[in-house]
Amino acid sequence: MFAQVMDWLPRYEFDKCVGRYRGNHYVKSLTCYKQFLMMAFAQLTYRESLRDIETCLRAVGTKLYHAGMYSHGSKSTLADANEKRDWRIFADFAHILIEQAAVLYADDDFGVELKQAAYALDSTTIDLCLSLFPWAKFRRHKAAVKLHTLLNLHGSIPTLVIITSGKVHDVNILDELPIEAGAFYIMDRGYLDFARLHRIHGHGAFFVTRTKNNTRFHRRYSHSVKKSLGIRFDQTIILEGFYSHRGYPDTLRRIGYTDPTTGKKLVFLTNNFSEPALTIALLYKSRWQVELFFKWIKQHLRIKAFYGTSENAVKTQVWIAISVYVLVAIIRKRLRLQISLYTILQILSISLFENMPILQAFAQHQQQIEDPQSPNQLYLQGFLTGQ
């Protein structure tokens, strides 16, 4: 099973990434590809430590050859590889997998009728021990790393991931954001910097964010709204504050919305004047998918506890975890599986070294999806099903 999963990896592209950073230079036994396989095994089976990885690989013995690893590596050799091999090898390879997944999920519906691409931007913080991770200083007695993620809402695929220390403020990531003309970028109030938002506007893209209570503006027009849909107002405004107006001199659209579920009143800012006000509100609501993504990967992948303490080892582990997530998403789409990523990972975690066709392992769960009347349905709907 493990070999069949790894057969979906574009090995030629991986070797190009290794060659770009001379990853296998002077390497005798544990190549970058074998390192990736061992770390992918750890992700798929939820291994706790390097010793845990070594012990489990030793236990399966001769099956390692058929899995493509040929022999188990020692924990010290793997630790050295994670410490010294350039993490950019795995970051570049993850982006190749992301591009493949983006094409496969481009037509997936995320609950909003929108022809353009839509991305949600947010970050999550992973707490660390300051004495073990001094390079990631966050507070006086605390360390942390941040995963700044741009999530493609079509399929919930991470398009961009930037790993920084906990001190880096979210708004600074807007400077590194590649802007796609015509796309929507949805973010919370932590990214409210009008000069940086104007850069998005200047590239022909759209943003949706929430405004702050102390934002000074002048209302130019008020448009008719359907209050039965929860829209309180739809205005065209110009910013009045000196620095705000200098950073964003053009007009903005200000939309008030009442959430029908919670009754909470929200106010959005956007530079898009063509989409209905309700669509803008629903776009912001869909931003919650990036929060679900963070929750999902923290629960089901090994990114909260690390096998090494250096910056290179941490980034290597995170990028391999993202690669595994995207690889499973690619397999799910190409095999036309209707089961969730959660179910796929749970099945793989106990059957990686079973000798069976990969489709056979998912057949029972797939049949339960196709036959919803089955009284013994055990399918757990997960993150990518949208339920």
DSSP letter for 318, please. H
Average pLDDT over residues 309-314: 93
Neighbouring-strand partners of residue 143: 128, 137
Average pLDDT over residues 3-31: 91
Backbone angles phi, psi at 164, to 5 degrees: -135, 170
Q: How far apart are CA 319 and CA 109, in angstroms?
A: 27
Q: What is the mean pLDDT of the chain?
A: 87
Q: Domain segments of the chain: what residues?
A: 2-89+312-370, 188-286
C-alpha distance across the termini of the chain, in Å: 28
Q: How far is CA 195 from CA 118, 152, 312, in A?
A: 21, 24, 33
| pLDDT bucket at 382, cuts 50 / 70 / 90 | very low
More confident residue, 219 or 73: 219
Q: How far is CA 152 from CA 108, 149, 249, in A?
A: 11, 10, 29
With pLDDT > 70 as the criterion, what percentage of the chain qualifies? 93
- Kindly report the pTM of this predicted structure: 0.85
Task: Give me the residue label for tokens 């000196």.
Answer: 242
Encoded tokens for 247: 């950073």
Amino acid at 219: R
How many residues comprise the chain? Answer: 387
Q: At CA 250, angle to CA 246 and CA 251, rounded to 5?
A: 125
pLDDT beyond 50 at 2 = yes
List Cβ neighbours of 366 (8 Å cut-off, separation of 6 or more): 337, 338, 339
184-214 as b/e: b if 16+ CB within 10 A: bbbbbeebbbbebbbbbbeeebbbbbbbeee
Average pLDDT over residues 99-108: 88
Q: How far apart are CA 127 and CA 224, in angstroms?
A: 47
**How many of the other CB atoms lie within 10 Å of CB of 343?**
23
Q: At CA 377, angle to CA 374 and CA 378, rounded to 5?
A: 170
Longest CA pairwise span in the chain (Å)? 74
pLDDT beyond 80 at 373 = no
Computed on alpha carbons and rounded to an integer, the radius of gyration of the chain in Å comes to: 23
258-282 as b/e: b if 16+ CB within 10 A: eeeeeeeebbbbbbbeebebbebbb
Name the residue among 141, 140, 207, 221 with its Cα closest to residue 177.
Answer: 207
| pLDDT bucket at 383, cuts 50 / 70 / 90 | very low
